Structure 1
Amino acid sequence: MNKSLSILLLAFCSFLLQAAQPEADPNRLKAHLAFLADDLLEGRDTGSTGHEIASLYIASHFAQLGLKPAGDKGSYLQRVRFRQSYLLQDSPKLTLITASGKQSLDYPRQYLTSASAVRELSQVRGDLVFAGYGMVAPELNHDDYANLDVSGKVVVVLSGKPASFPSEEGAHFASSSEKSRHAAQRGAIGMITISTPTAEKVKPYQSRLNHLHTPTVRWLDNQDQPANIYPGLQNSAYFSQQAAELLFAGAPRSLEQIYADLEKDLVPAGFILPASIEFSKRSEHKTISSPNVAAILEGADPELKHEYVVYTAHSDHIGLAKTVKKDRINNGAMDNASGTAVLLETARLLSQLPVRPNRSILFLAVTGEEKGLLGADYYAQNPTVPVTSLVANVNLDMPILTYEFADLIAFGANHSSLQQAVSDAVQKLGMTLSADPWPEQALFTRSDHYMFVKQGIPAVFLVPGLTSMDPKVDGGKKFAEFLHSDYHQPSDELSDAFNWQAARRFTEANLQIGLTIANDKIRPTWNQGDFFGETFAK
């Protein structure tokens, strides 16, 4: 074919793609959300009948759009098996042994523990070693285990991280999974995390009692072993400040002195504590299953169609409330029926384009987000397409659709070339891309997209910006109102508070972002020297 003619045809196809984009339909968005947040589904808890119904609803719409199944055995469903572990509430027994004798601590008044996903009877007896924050971060020249021998010991670590640590990187290093990994690698047999003044401000010990009966949930691998678990850590607990003081009685430094270091953002060095513990508990295990739902719109380019832009939205919620007498159903309308509705409408719009995008699009409704990003983690570690072919993830989780916004926030965009792609995309719709307004909350590490980041895949987490098109409306206040009054409450249900033009606008922004990434000749890349790219990219 004549080269100039080829260029002309490509330009014409690009013009068609831009000019003929269908508009999002607010009525369809409302209909999806109304079904997914209906009382019939009883809050779509992972493993529940309600979530199964939601998953079949999503799969049915993927089929109606003619999308290719991307689940198991030619289906749209990727079945994930989970282990639910329940702590027998009368079983925890913890005795502190010091030079003064033995002292039994009171569960749950003085300490908390959760069910073990590995063993039904958990027992540990060992000497205690204080290990600062229990963090190892060579990139930040930090190693709390330097000059400490914790092999065969129970480590005592502070909750959280140093205040001077970068927010997002610090959230990674301070995660319970990272702290457990480093303790287990060094031979520790148990872990006690102690509360701090900062932790009490963020989440008081008393508020943690609300989760006493919440089961531990982990996905199971092909050998029926729970994932992301360190069996060498035979037991763990979380101590209140008052109980933690007992651990430091007669120690080289008191807990008061440790806390004084934290006030100055000093990192206290570890040392041997003159105490040991005997700690046991019992757990009951139950196996459940719950599906991810996956579908593919194949790309048009002969080469690029083997690469995938992944849209994710979690379809699960938290099910039935145990303490509310009247309305017990946590419908999860905003969290995350809204994101799932946007995913479905985006799939419809993309499937109806006269010219398909160059790269393929993978639509993924994941389960188990509320249990710890489990469905996304399972898919990212067990993808139904080669993991190296996943070029980017666009995640939709709890967009607050109560006002017409003028800007968009893409958490994590600043780590990769996706920042430019998202900015270019939303500008076509008359929007701007705003910076993360809450960097201290490290939201980039707190939703499903982060499981793809941990596989080295650049990702963004999209939400409406805080600038309203109506100057009389404060977008930040709207966010705060939802979080204060409705987040994880039965009141998160379909209501007149939803702004369906905002839903339309958010969907069209989501569509444009996916198209921009899918049609870019260059695969998204991590920024040079970026921590997440350096840490996780293969």
Structure 2
Amino acid sequence: MAYRLLTVLCASLLIPTSPAGAADPPAATAADRIKAAVTYLASDRLEGRGPGTAGEELTTDYLSGEFKKAGLKPVGERGTYLQPVPLVRVVTSPQSTLKATKGAESLDIICDEEFSGTSHTQAGLEEFDAEAVFVGHGITAPEFGWDDYKDIDVKGKVVVLFTNEPPSDDPKFFGGKALTYYGRWTFKFEEAARRGAKACFIIHTPETAGYPYSVVRPLDGAQLKREPGQPALAFAGWLSRKAGDKLLGLSGRTVSDALKVADTKGFKAFSLGVNLKGHFPTRVENIISHNVVGMVEGSDPALKSEAVVFTAHWDHLGVGRAIVGDSIYNGAADNATGCALLLELARGWAAQSPKPKRSALFLAVTAEEKGLLGSKYYAQHPIVPLGKTALDLNFDMILPLGVPESIVVTGSERTTVWPTVQAAAKKHGLEIEADQRAHLGVFYRSDHFSMARAGVPAFSVAAGMKIKGKPDDFARQKLQEFNDKAYHSPQDEVRPDWDYSGFATLAGFALDVARQVADADHLPTWNPGDEFRPAREKSGVK
């Protein structure tokens, strides 16, 4: 989940600001509707909106009903608003064990408290007894002259590494201070599997991960069904810093020592001289979750087969470990607010007259919290072909803090939509603000990334740190407080002091961008040289 202040991508709010748009409704009315939707979606009745649960059924029924009220055409399976997403639920037993041995010395690493994760083989019980190899950041990036796997064979071994990337101020080297996909934990597991590793453990630190160990501590997960022959790790997990120090201590090192070495140019992977023995009883269950999808058809006979797409994930973490007596992970900011805005945008788009030339697809996706699975599945099974998809605007993790005077549009500068974004920001009096969380790879942490990876120009829009009438550090403090105390916990609940008044400002900006793209003569693309440009060209858009 890419955390954002008011990640209001296309911050909908029914404010068609194009010259031909419908009359604006009162902002307070829109704010009231959003508040009501957030209150319902984040209520205990929905039990944290876990995929494959009773909470999912209540959530998708509600979203489908609101799409129908807005007049959206159902484009899911069998005339419904639902796109089935086959998932595999994988639950690691808390009785799982992990033992590190060097010669006559051995130590136990405690499940849950010191290590967490799941198997990726979807086969049930997994066991291994294999050599542990330290591979730094686990990156192979020839374009940056960096290969942590150079001259070492990790097939059948357990790789130990850090998330994130070698630090640099040079924007031409791993993006400088901005994290690239090479730094994400998902890449680490993918590359380890490609290399034939038996298992992979990421040593957690708050600095390299960007969040506390509690965020990665759950022992349950969901995965897309594994294709035959697809490489998979027997276990993909995390070690707490304490566990990292215990493991590395067997070879005379500390976490700090290892991270310093991993950050050094010319790093070479090495054996820790330690064997790791793992025993992981695993419950595997096939489930069907759902994306919720509806369409407003465009007005141009030649262009209505193309579409702009709006996304927000509906899922959160369901029911889990109790914290202060509360076990329901309601997900109010993450992402009931995003879904509420998606609904408001759908109402506003459907009410426009005349209609935009291209169609618009409204997509509430599942299993974002499990690794962007719903959006990844949609990108693999699109309702509108990728080569006919103009743009994806995503909203995720919204803190309602008031009226913004600045905006963050992470990734839009990499696309040909950028001039439209700049013009819309100027029109609405919004300063475009640099992404202050770029070092955490925020661009790669929400559902727009699934679409970008498939070639579709995609980005999020968030309120910046300047909030009308508030002190300069107000928004920053509120976001930090949320990240420290509520993110991925039962404390992410509706707050009485939340202020939804700023959504209208972002809505005007976002709908201007979306309408301009929907009415443009040509489909947008990624800029020359961008990492996603080849996928766009492969889809048929030059």
Q: TM-score range by the shorter chain?
A: 0.7 to 0.9
Contact 1:369/1:375 (8 A) holds in 2: yes
The one-letter code of the counterpart of 1:189 is: K
* 1:423, distance to aligned residue in structure 2 (A): 2.2
- Out of 41, 58, 65, which is 1:60 matched to? 65
- What is the SS of the residue equivalent to 2:496? coil
* 1:347, distance to aligned residue in structure 2 (A): 0.9
Aligned partner of 1:482 in structure 2 is 482
- Out of 127, 130, 150, which is 1:146 matched to? 150
Structural mapping, 1:503-518, within 5 Å: 503-518=503-518
* 1:21, distance to aligned residue in structure 2 (A): 4.5
Contact 2:17/2:512 (8 A) holds in 1: no
Contact 1:393/1:460 (8 A) holds in 2: yes
Contact 1:26/1:500 (8 A) holds in 2: yes
Aligned partner of 1:86 in structure 2 is 91
* 1:461, distance to aligned residue in structure 2 (A): 0.8
Larger radius of gyration: 1
Contact 1:456/1:533 (8 A) holds in 2: yes
1:507 & 1:255 partners in 2: Cα distance?
45
Aligned partner of 1:241 in structure 2 is 244
Confirm or deny that 1:462 pairs with 2:471: no
- What is the SS of the residue equivalent to 1:500? coil
2:505 & 2:297 partners in 1: Cα distance?
25
Contact 1:418/1:460 (8 A) holds in 2: no
Contact 1:457/1:537 (8 A) holds in 2: no
The one-letter code of the counterpart of 1:141 is: G
Identity of aligned residues (%): 31
Aligned partner of 1:108 in structure 2 is 111
Q: Which has the higher relative contact order, 1 or 2, with Cα contacts under 8 A spaced 6 or more apart?
A: 2
1:491 & 1:95 partners in 2: Cα distance?
36
Q: Deviations over 1:16-69 (max 9, x none)?
A: 843534335333223322322233222222222223212111111212222221
Aligned partner of 2:438 in structure 1 is 439
1:257 & 1:370 partners in 2: Cα distance?
32
Confirm or deny that 1:69 pairs with 2:74: yes
Q: 1:113 to 1:421 in 2, by over 3 A?
A: same
- What is the SS of the residue equivalent to 1:120? coil
- What is the SS of the residue equivalent to 1:18? coil
Q: 1:195 to 1:267 in 2, by over 3 A?
A: farther
Aligned partner of 2:139 in structure 1 is 135
Aligned partner of 2:55 in structure 1 is 50
The one-letter code of the counterpart of 1:312 is: T
Q: Which range moved further: 515-524 or 271-280?
A: 271-280
1:307 & 1:463 partners in 2: Cα distance?
26
Contact 2:406/2:431 (8 A) holds in 1: yes
* 1:101, distance to aligned residue in structure 2 (A): 3.0
Q: 1:229 to 1:448 in 2, by over 3 A?
A: farther
- Out of 187, 200, 203, which is 1:191 matched to? 200
1:292 & 1:471 partners in 2: Cα distance?
38
Aligned partner of 1:372 in structure 2 is 371
* 1:160, distance to aligned residue in structure 2 (A): 2.9
User: May I ask how many residue pairs the two structures share in their alignment?
Assistant: 510
Q: Deviations over 1:441-489 (max 9, x none)?
A: 2211111111111111111112112212225463333333433444334
2:17 & 2:99 partners in 1: Cα distance?
69
Let me know the Cα RMSD of the aligned residues: 3.1
Q: Deviations over 1:303-342 (max 9, x none)?
A: 2212111100111222335323555433322222211111
Structural mapping, 1:155-166, within 5 Å: 155-164=159-168, 165-166=174-175
Aligned partner of 1:172 in structure 2 is 181
Q: 1:167 to 1:449 in 2, by over 3 A?
A: farther
* 1:108, distance to aligned residue in structure 2 (A): 3.3
1:197 & 1:461 partners in 2: Cα distance?
24
Q: Which range moved further: 24-33 or 46-55?
A: 24-33
- What is the SS of the residue equivalent to 2:512? helix
Aligned partner of 1:181 in structure 2 is 190
For normalisation by structure 2, the TM-score amounts to: 0.85
- What is the SS of the residue equivalent to 1:476? helix
1:510 & 1:331 partners in 2: Cα distance?
27
Q: 1:439 to 1:247 in 2, by over 3 A?
A: same
1:196 & 1:64 partners in 2: Cα distance?
47
Contact 2:96/2:111 (8 A) holds in 1: no
Aligned partner of 1:8 in structure 2 is none
* 1:371, distance to aligned residue in structure 2 (A): 2.0
Unaligned runs of 5+ in 1: 1-13
The one-letter code of the counterpart of 1:119 is: A
Q: 1:509 to 1:486 in 2, by over 3 A?
A: farther
- What is the SS of the residue equivalent to 2:48? coil
Confirm or deny that 1:20 pairs with 2:22: yes
1:246 & 1:36 partners in 2: Cα distance?
46
Q: Which range moved further: 51-60 or 211-220?
A: 211-220
Q: 1:104 to 1:484 in 2, by over 3 A?
A: closer
- What is the SS of the residue equivalent to 1:61? helix
Aligned partner of 2:171 in structure 1 is none
- What is the SS of the residue equivalent to 2:323? coil
* 1:297, distance to aligned residue in structure 2 (A): 0.9
2:291 & 2:228 partners in 1: Cα distance?
17
Contact 2:292/2:363 (8 A) holds in 1: yes
Contact 1:167/1:439 (8 A) holds in 2: no
Aligned partner of 1:529 in structure 2 is 529
* 1:397, distance to aligned residue in structure 2 (A): 0.8
Confirm or deny that 1:414 pairs with 2:381: no
Contact 1:128/1:273 (8 A) holds in 2: yes
* 1:125, distance to aligned residue in structure 2 (A): 3.0
- What is the SS of the residue equivalent to 1:399? coil
Unaligned runs of 5+ in 2: 1-15, 169-173
- What is the SS of the residue equivalent to 1:306? coil
Confirm or deny that 1:502 pairs with 2:502: yes
* 1:274, distance to aligned residue in structure 2 (A): 3.5
* 1:255, distance to aligned residue in structure 2 (A): 7.3
Aligned partner of 2:130 in structure 1 is 126
Q: 1:288 to 1:409 in 2, by over 3 A?
A: same
Aligned partner of 1:3 in structure 2 is none
- What is the SS of the residue equivalent to 1:300? coil
Contact 1:425/1:516 (8 A) holds in 2: no
Aligned partner of 1:402 in structure 2 is 401
Q: 1:471 to 1:85 in 2, by over 3 A?
A: closer
Q: 1:157 to 1:536 in 2, by over 3 A?
A: farther
Q: 1:173 to 1:310 in 2, by over 3 A?
A: same
Q: 1:41 to 1:188 in 2, by over 3 A?
A: closer
- What is the SS of the residue equivalent to 1:305? coil
1:116 & 1:422 partners in 2: Cα distance?
42
Q: 1:43 to 1:113 in 2, by over 3 A?
A: closer
Aligned partner of 1:5 in structure 2 is none
* 1:364, distance to aligned residue in structure 2 (A): 0.4
* 1:402, distance to aligned residue in structure 2 (A): 1.8
Contact 2:20/2:353 (8 A) holds in 1: no
